[in-house]
Amino acid sequence: MKRILFQGDSITDCGRIRATDETNGRHLGFGYAALVAADLGNCEVGAYEFLNLGLGGSKILDVYNHMIQDIIEIAPDYMSIMVGVNDAINHLETKRFESLYQWLIDDVKAALPNIKIMLLSAFCDEWSEQKFPGVNKDVKEKIAVTQQLAERNKLPFLDTQEILDKALKEAPLGYWTAPDGIHPTVFLHKRIADAWIKTFLEELK
């Protein structure tokens, strides 16, 4: 059985129940991670173990600081990371974001040379800009850097900003995100999950 780990901030966390020891991460929350597990776990029954260790409020430095216990000791076969919006909200300089992210990738791959990693972008919209004036410019910088890191390290990249932008052609913003402009509704989580599975099957597996 292959192990899939979801890492990231509150969008990945999405209400997962905290646990300890051997149960840690097995409650998948109520977002895209759970939807991926439900769909992929039924398409390929018994093939994967799914773990979610996303943590609300996480920035790239937090993911790096928790790397030993929350990535390396778990030793996943596959891992996806979605991070960046909290770095933008907290004004982390984009070059620093890039350096920390590259260190994370390097250190994880050094410890787990066979791991396969997918990078997910952050996203922003008009409501995130209203709540945090100026944040969208920074989020877009973080998106660009995440894509560059994926290309540089030959990792699959999932552009959630593109997913949201396409979805907005079908329904208004309130259908897809909460009023904070940061957290997806179940409908956007489903779009992200579908794209995650497609990317996994075509580029990562």
Q: Is the pLDDT of residue 139 over 90?
A: yes
- The mean per-residue pLDDT over the stretch 61-83 comes to 97
Element (H, E) at 120: strand 116-120
Q: Is the pLDDT of residue 18 over 90?
A: no
Per-residue pLDDT at 22: 53
Residue 94 vs residues 98, 100, 106: alpha-carbon distances, Å: 6, 10, 18
Per-residue pLDDT at 23: 55
Per-residue pLDDT at 20: 56
Beta bridge partners of 51: 5
Confidence (pTM): 0.95
Half-sphere exposure of 30 (CA within 13 A, CB side): 8
- Residue in the structure block whose two tokens are 């945090």: 132
Per-residue pLDDT at 205: 83
Per-residue pLDDT at 17: 79
Per-residue pLDDT at 27: 87
Q: Delimit the domains of the chain by residue range.
A: 2-204
Q: Is the pLDDT of residue 149 over 80?
A: yes
| Range with lowest mean pLDDT among 19-28, 39-48, 53-62, 151-160 | 19-28
Q: List pLDDT tens digits, range 172-186.
A: 999 999 998 899 999
Per-residue pLDDT at 154: 98
How many helices and strands (H and E) does the chain possess?
11, 5
Q: Is the pLDDT of residue 93 over 70?
A: yes
Q: Is the pLDDT of residue 135 over 80?
A: yes
Per-residue pLDDT at 19: 63
What is the fold of 2-204?
Answer: Rossmann fold (3.40.50)
Token pair for 184: 């997806």
